[in-house]
Chain A
Amino acid sequence: MTMLTKTKESRVAGAVGETRQMTMIQALRSALDVMMERDDNVVVFGEDVGYFGGVFRVTEGLQQKYGKSRCFDTPINEGGIVGVAVGMGAYGLRPVAEIQFADYFYPAYDQIVSEAARLRHRSAGDFTCPLTIRMPCGGGIYGGQTHSQSPEALFTHVCGLRTVIPSNPYDAKGLLIASIESDDPVIFLEPKRLYNGPFDGHHDRPVTPWSKHPMGNVPEGYYQVPLESAAVVRPGKELTVITYGTMVWVSQAAAEETGIDAEVIDLRSLWPLDLETVLESVKKTGRCVVVHEATRTSGFGAELTATVQEHCFYHLEASIERVAGWDTPYPHATEWAYFPGPGRVGAAFKRAMEG
């Protein structure tokens, strides 16, 4: 297996108790369960999350276990879901709101940007709202334009927010616990194509389920994967890949298939960012490829590219390559022409090596 250096540290530091093979869905559910058990102030709500347990089943069983006042269904009203979460946070709760698909969060954007993100600052600490907003994101499930988007740049651009995105069950649980315990508002993006296994972009091949994958081995109890901490998921010498979410697995596949010894960094926390890990790697390899599913223009990759260039200009042997979704709405039938699979990522690796 490819060992996660930083994850390995936090495993030793935080993990307690028995481990079990979990899918990312089970790991997220376990995180919610652990936190609801530990802290009465943690409440979970969203569309279909109560009795039914969520369309992706993440909250299954929580209403039964913790009661209807701590895990409940909401109206189809994202602005309302986040609006009440801000009020609950101001009261002193730690709400965990689910937006059914990231594609649906837009009506809540004012409550996220103008309210949640700035409440601490504008009130000089008088009021805060430690809320976590979970939302499944990304493509690869034939979801078309309304079930496939990767809107992370709309959050990383907002001061006061933390934006987090795991790429495996172990990180998903540890990061969700850290997010719920954070005193800042956290946008928690869940790459839905990774819910059941590490998808490497080869949509025509079977995916190894998490039940047979080392990163599916998750402690039953409480542990944190710290925020603002990236993981080197594939150590390498020739170039640095900065990526997150589903593209962590696509990038590793591209490294194997091209034979280029790429060092793949899974950012895990997009913002605030573990810049140190990124810069250390780029200074070592001298080449850098930024990979994300989201559309290219003004995507988070632009920020990463500019930042790396600022700090590593004299270490760079080639211009920084970006691989991203095309600047079009996410398509349905032609999804695989849109999704930046290992072929496109590998081609960028080669350009970076030649440049």
Chain B
Amino acid sequence: MSQHEPLRLHVPEPSGRPGSPTDFSYLHISEAGAARRPPVDTSHFDTQDLAYALIRVLDRDGHAVGPWVPEVSPAQLRRGLRAMMKTRIFDARMLIAQRQKKISFYMQCLGEEAIAVAHAQALEAGDMCFPTYRQQGLLLSRDDIPMTELMCQLLSNECDPLKGRQLPVMYSYKRAGFFSISGNLGTQFIQAVGWAMASAIKGDTRIASGWIGDGATAESDFHNALIFAHVYRAPVILNVVNNQWAISTFQAVAGGESTSFAARGVGAGIASLRVDGNDFLAVLAASRWAAERARANLGPTLIEWVTYRAGPHSTSDDPSKYRPADDWERFPLGDPVQRLAQHLVTLGAWSEQEHRQVQLELEAEVAAAQKEAESHGTLLDGHIPSASTIFDDVYAEMPAHLRRQRQEMGV
């Protein structure tokens, strides 16, 4: 018999499950304004505390406080709020369209709207995002991407720019700096680094922004991205959206227990921040800080955005099976839309009445776009792209074997 006690396997668990409320103390939340703001040319060593703290700007009363308060006009914040509201309404409508079987599948970004929308405001034309499937805010905050076109992709109809080849939400918009979404988690993270390296090789001034979720940080692509970004000092922002859940798997199982995802960056030699992702001003400020570093050849920045996936993973998921149903209402970082609205009210640049009116306007705008998109067909009515188009774009020019197979298909 060994004199040692038996070894035990530790399998992480969330603090809450259906029927027992979550103890959110595991989040280690700093007070708004408490985290310091180092100069952009700081070293990764100097961000060690910031990788475990939580950078926040908006306090409980909606006031912007501390060193991270960004210079931003009320007009820009109003645009941001409007884009977040539009994203939420768009998601809600598309969720219904999926329930009506007009769309095969949908993924909302409910609760995470501030991250993509505020980040987009920190980037410049020509920069390239390598998003996951929950950054539709990057597109919906732009005026040059019509909602109708996005909806045609979701409906897989005859006007789907991706010709019915991709699941809904897997958009591709080179003209809007939005890389084609893969669906294989994590692959885009290292590609963002490659794009940024290419920009540096060419002496360009554009930067890349890569995106990944807490769950997919466990993939090798995440580690590969950190290594290459650090080694070549790539002009890239590495965003980790920690929304606590990867389908049913709590972020602790991805390695977030008793540490932070931002801390991984420091270990790899990358300046890293942990930021309140539901705080529009904090997202804007941290994104600008990282973008400025990238553009000044100071290298990559990793930012962990702490947020909460308020909705199901996708329309195929039922989160009430694995987490408390009221978690989002109890989530200590609140609702990003309400928080920015509250801040604008304190500035005298927003009111409840205006909020209601904008809500109605946007609902009408989204409904009109949907009506137009559906006029081009839905998955339900069979107005889908011709099946023969699957043979296009496999290669730059169609080889003989695909011409034969297209003929064999007989359409």
- Given the known A-B contacts A77-B224, A272-B400, are A123 and B162 also in contact in the complex, defined by CB atoms under 8 Å? yes
0/1 interface trace, chain A 142-177, chain B, CB 8 Å (1 if under): 000000000000000001101000000000000000
Q: How far is the CB of A92 from chain B (nearest CB, A)?
A: 7
Asked if A120 lies at the interface with its beta carbon under 8 angstroms from chain B, I say: yes
In this complex, the member of B130, B190, B193 whose beta carbon has the largest number of chain A beta carbons within 10 angstroms is B190
- Chain B residues lying within 8 Å of A92, measured Cβ to Cβ, are 198
> Could you say which of A80, A88, A110, A119 contacts B195, with CB atoms under 8 Å apart?
A88
User: Contact: A121 with B165, CB < 8 Å?
Assistant: yes
Contacting pair A115 B184 (CB below 8 A): yes
In the assembly, what is the distance between CA of A70 and CA of B201, in Å? 7
Measured CB to CB, the closest approach of chain A to B184, in angstroms, equals: 4
A86 at the interface (CB under 8 A from B): yes
- In the complex formed, the residue of B with least CB distance to A182 is B396
In the assembled complex, B231 has its CB within 8 A of some CB on chain A: yes
- Please determine whether A183 and B194 come into contact, CB atoms closer than 8 angstroms: no
Q: Is the CB of A122 within 8 A of B170?
A: yes
Supposing A83-B221, A87-B198 touch, asked if A120 and B130 sit within 8 A by C-beta, the answer is no
Q: Is B172 an interface residue (CB 8 A)?
A: yes
Interface-facing stretch out of B27-35, B173-181, B371-379: B173-181
- A159 surroundings in chain B (CB, below 8 A): 394
Residues of A within 8 A of B400 (CB): 228, 272, 275
* A272 engages B227 (CB within 8 Å): no
B187 in contact with A69 (CB, 8 Å): no
Q: How many of chain B's residues have a CB under 8 angstroms from any CB in A?
A: 45
Q: In the bound complex, do residue B184 and residue A114 qualify as a contact, i.e. CB atoms below 8 Å apart? A: yes
A272 touches B395 (CB 8 A): yes
How many cross-chain pairs have Cβ atoms below 8 Å apart between A and B?
Answer: 142
The answer to whether B396 and A127 touch across the interface, beta carbons within 8 angstroms, is: no
* Interfacial chain A residues near B220, Cβ < 8 Å: 79, 107
In the assembled complex, how far is the CB of residue B150 from the closest CB belonging to chain A, in whole angstroms?
14
- Which of B184, B198, B231, B394 is most buried by chain A, counting CB atoms within 10 A of its CB? B198
The chain A residue with its CB closest to the CB of B165 is: A122
- A87 engages B130 (CB within 8 Å): yes
A83 B190 Cβ-Cβ under 8 A: yes
* B191→A115 contact, CB < 8 A: yes
Q: Please give the distance in Å from B154's CB to the nearest CB on chain A.
A: 15
Q: Mark B92-111, 1 if CB is under 8 A from A, else 0.
A: 00000000000000000000
Q: For residue A121, which residue of chain B has the nearest CB? A: B393
In this assembly, does A316 line the interface, its C-beta being within 8 Å of a C-beta of chain B?
no
**A92 CA to B197 CA, complexed, in Å:** 12
Check if B201 sits within 8 Å of A43, measured CB to CB: yes
With both chains docked as a complex, state the minimum distance between the C-beta of A149 and any C-beta of chain B, in angstroms. Answer: 21
In the complex, which residues 184-222 of chain A have their Cβ closer than 8 Å to any Cβ of chain B?
184
CA gap between A14 and B270 in the complex, in Å: 48
Max count, chain B CB within 10 A of own CB: residue among A107, A123, A182, A228: A123
The answer to whether A273 touches B201 (Cβ under 8 A) is: no
Contact of A110 (CB < 8 Å), options: B130, B173, B187, B198: B187
Q: Does A84 contact B (CB under 8 A)?
A: yes
Q: Does B195 contact A77, Cβ atoms closer than 8 Å?
A: no
Contact with B along A69-93 (1 / 0, CB 8 A): 1100011010110011111111111
Q: Which of A92, A120, A121 is most buried by chain B, counting CB atoms within 10 A of its CB?
A: A121
Query: Are B201 and A79 interface neighbours, CB within 8 A?
Result: no
Q: How distant is the Cα of A119 from the Cα of B163 in the complex, in angstroms?
A: 14
Chain A residue numbers with a CB within 8 Å of B128 are 90-91
B290 to chain A, nearest CB (A): 18
Q: Is A354 an interface residue (CB 8 A)?
A: no
Contact partners of B180 in chain A: CB under 8 A: 119, 122-123, 126-127
A273's closest neighbor in chain B, by CB?
B401
Q: How far is B170's CA from A77's CA once the two chains are assembled, in angstroms? A: 28
List the A residue with the shortest CB-CB distance to B160: A124
Q: How far is the CA of A119 from the CA of B172 in the complex (A)?
A: 10
Q: What is the CA–CA distance of A43 and B165 in the complex, to the nearest angstrom?
A: 31
Q: Which of B169-222 contact A (CB under 8 A)?
A: 170, 172-174, 179-180, 182, 184, 187, 190-202, 208, 220-221
Alpha-carbon separation in the docked complex, A93 to B203 (Å): 13
Instruction: List, sorted by A's number, 16 A–B pairs whose CB atoms are closer than 8 Å.
Output: A77-B227, A80-B227, A83-B191, A85-B194, A87-B196, A87-B208, A88-B201, A91-B199, A95-B194, A111-B187, A120-B393, A122-B172, A182-B396, A183-B396, A184-B396, A272-B395
User: Beyond A123-B174, A183-B396: 15 further Cβ-contacts under 8 Å?
Assistant: A70-B201, A75-B228, A77-B224, A83-B187, A83-B225, A84-B191, A86-B194, A87-B193, A88-B194, A88-B195, A88-B198, A91-B199, A93-B198, A114-B187, A121-B165
- List residues of A whose CB falls within 8 A of some B CB: 40, 43, 69-70, 74-75, 77, 79-80, 83-93, 95, 107, 110-111, 114-115, 119-128, 159-160, 162, 182-184, 228, 272-273, 275
The residues of B with any CB-CB pair to A shorter than 8 Å are 128, 130, 161-163, 165-166, 170, 172-174, 179-180, 182, 184, 187, 190-202, 208, 220-221, 224-225, 227-228, 231, 392-396, 399-401
